[in-house]
Structure 1
Amino acid sequence: MTGPAEQAVQAAREAREAREAREARDAETAGVRAFWQGLGLPGLIDVHTHFMPQNVLDKVWAYFDAAGPLVDRPWPITYREAEDRRVGWLREFGVRAFTAMLYPHKPGMAGWLNGWAAEFAARTPDCLHTATFFPEPGAPGYVARAIEGGARVFKAHLQVGGYHPADERLDEVWGLLAETGTPVVTHCGSGPVPGKHTGAGPIGEVLARHPRLVLVVAHLGLPEYTDFLDLAERYPEVRLDTTIAFTDFVERDTPFPPAELPRLAGLRDRVLLGSDFPNIPYRYVHQLDALERTGLGEDWLRAVCHDNAARLFGI
């Protein structure tokens, strides 16, 4: 047993650690808010944040902790906190709207995830109601029901799902999304580890069939940046999100080609802020600093960090 003196020392240590944590949180929040306030924006809109059932999220975090085959490198989770605290972080940062990117890795999972996401959106009004799908016979039906129920954005993860996006069981799904103008954020690039159906070719087959699809290419399509810039220039409804792009974490292994920056500048109205919060190995403010140091200018930053998503989602 510990005595009164040891208990007092422990209490003092815990109080100091709590105070330091509050101070660090306040400092980070101030930095994020200074970024968008300096641009004259009313806040940020982040189209690539992850919220999902806790048992699923725990498994995702465990996969990152183990540097699983689809990660293939140490990837510490910076915001490993309870759901309400994670929502609180985004609100304190001044994120006006965010998403609940979630995705199945097997049949029979998407409908259950969509039910959870609908409930989360109902109790989290600043979350854009998110849904997902998987190539299975019931996909067109539950995607239609999700849209009718208010889903505003979908997530498709070709690397984790391991499916070809042009699978015939998804053709009606892509058609419905294109017809309704519902954006779908899609991890279709081959980073951090290539999948069997990643890269611009497979998703390009979908766009050839459904050229009006509002496809948001996650992570700027890294590492196939050039190929996905080509797709965005070919199809006017294709957009790119900035998730983890330009950060120190990515630049040391898969840097964005400097020669392609003028093309990214030319697509200013179709680039959206994404962060991967909370599953990022650095502080949130670093993503913003990384975008600023591209040198693409304040008009580009205003469009990317708020205005493009505000227009897309009617915010």
Structure 2
Amino acid sequence: MSRKFHVRRDAPKSTTDPWSSIPERLGEITGFKRQVVMVYSHKPGISDSLNEYCADAARFCNSKHGPGSCVGLSTVLPGEAGATKVLERAFSRREITGVKLHAHVQVVRPNDPKCDEIYETCIKHGKSILFHAGRAPNSPGHAQDSDDLCSYRYIEDVMKRHPQLRLCIPHLGSDEESEYFALLQRFENLYLDTANTHSDYLGQLNDSVSIRETIRRGILASSNQIMYGSDFPNIPHTLYTEVRAWDKYDLPPDVLNKLLTKNAETFYGFEASTRTVAVL
């Protein structure tokens, strides 16, 4: 089972910062065997430092638990000077298997032309992108209304122009789940993850019977393109309740295994490992 772990702060001054051991400690606490650590920049000029920090954290975790225990997602601010070079430097680190972007934090529409160089660089290097491009949660604290920044139609445009791009939209694209499930049928390199969809943070958006049935149908129809995700511990919530929520969907064992393990291993480029993946 893989899990997302965010770091939202400026990069530390030292790669020996004790934060580097957080992925290791969380793995021991939760029982998860695969972890994705990620960063995202909210202003220009900090991406390189964040990316080095992210790669070092993943390397530290792998040194303790073996290759394939942890991978990192680098970041870049769309439109910042030298964005392509920032990514190429990040991709030189073997621990970095993709990029994390966030429309709300970085104040960018996914189909903004300044994102194109990021998409093209990822395609060139065979890297994936995790892009928070769903409208929820919308907050008055955002620099721009997320309903203006985000729409499934923007992602549709991106995939039409970059069909080779491996792109994942977290939170099942909340609150446009049905529209995103429909896109999965058209674009084989588009993925969704389930982060926070059953927690006490975003879960209230998906707690109706009709939404649950929509989610179940979507998973069964696109079982190779949907994976488990979590914002724990960046956003504190009831992690095990979130995991156990999938019991009520009565998914076939092979589909559940894809959801909890295989799809994330494929999308994030985890190395082959003989370690048993925990199903909590």
Name the TM-score, length of structure 2 as normaliser.
0.79
Instruction: Work out whether residues 165 and 203 of structure 1, in 8 Å CA contact, stay in contact via their aligned partners in 2.
Output: yes
Distance verdict in 2 for CA 1:304–1:205, change over 3 Å = same
Does residue 10 of structure 2 align to residue 45 of structure 1? no
Instruction: Work out whether residues 218 and 242 of structure 1, in 8 Å CA contact, stay in contact via their aligned partners in 2.
Output: yes
The structural deviation recorded for 1:169 is: 2.8
More strand by share: 2
Give the counterpart of 1:170 among 97, 115, 118. 115
Distance 2:20 2:60 in 1: 12
Q: Secondary structure at the match of 1:100?
A: strand
1:97 aligns with 34
The structural deviation recorded for 1:106 is: 1.7
Give the counterpart of 1:310 among 224, 247, 265. 265
Instruction: Work out whether residues 219 and 244 of structure 1, in 8 Å CA contact, stay in contact via their aligned partners in 2.
Output: yes
Which of the pair has more CA radius of gyration?
1
The structural deviation recorded for 1:274 is: 0.6
Does residue 195 of structure 2 align to residue 250 of structure 1? no
Distance verdict in 2 for CA 1:192–1:208, change over 3 Å = same
Instruction: Work out whether residues 51 and 99 of structure 1, in 8 Å CA contact, stay in contact via their aligned partners in 2.
Output: no
Does residue 90 of structure 2 align to residue 146 of structure 1? yes
Distance 1:239 1:178 in 2: 15
Give the counterpart of 2:56 among 95, 99, 119. 119
Q: What percentage of residue pairs aligned between the two structures are identical?
A: 25
Instruction: Work out whether residues 158 and 188 of structure 1, in 8 Å CA contact, stay in contact via their aligned partners in 2.
Output: yes
Q: Secondary structure at the match of 2:74?
A: strand
| Number of corresponding residues | 247
The structural deviation recorded for 1:217 is: 0.9
The structural deviation recorded for 1:280 is: 3.3
Does residue 127 of structure 2 align to residue 182 of structure 1? yes
Q: Secondary structure at the match of 2:35?
A: strand
Q: Secondary structure at the match of 1:137?
A: coil
Within a 5 Å distance, the mapping from 1:221-300 to structure 2 comes to 221-255=173-207, 257-260=211-214, 261-300=216-255
Letter in 1 for 2:72: H
Instruction: Work out whether residues 100 and 129 of structure 1, in 8 Å CA contact, stay in contact via their aligned partners in 2.
Output: yes
1:176-229 Cα deviation digits (max 9, x unpaired): 212333111110000111513112122322212111110011111111111211
More helix by share: 1
Instruction: Work out whether residues 139 and 170 of structure 1, in 8 Å CA contact, stay in contact via their aligned partners in 2.
Output: no
Distance 2:263 2:22 in 1: 27
Give the counterpart of 1:209 among 161, 175, 181. 161
The structural deviation recorded for 1:284 is: 1.6
Distance 1:266 1:240 in 2: 13
Distance 1:95 1:258 in 2: 25
Letter in 2 for 1:146: A
1:124-172 Cα deviation digits (max 9, x unpaired): 2132022011121211111122112222121110111111223333312
Distance 1:192 1:52 in 2: 17
1:43-67 Cα deviation digits (max 9, x unpaired): x222x221355x679xxxxxxxxxx
Distance 1:133 1:230 in 2: 29
Distance 2:55 2:97 in 1: 11
1:134 aligns with 77
5+ residue gaps, structure 1 = 1-43, 58-80
Q: Which moved more, 1:265-274 or 1:254-263?
A: 254-263
Q: Which moved more, 1:222-231 or 1:195-204?
A: 195-204
Does residue 66 of structure 2 align to residue 109 of structure 1? no
Distance 2:175 2:111 in 1: 21
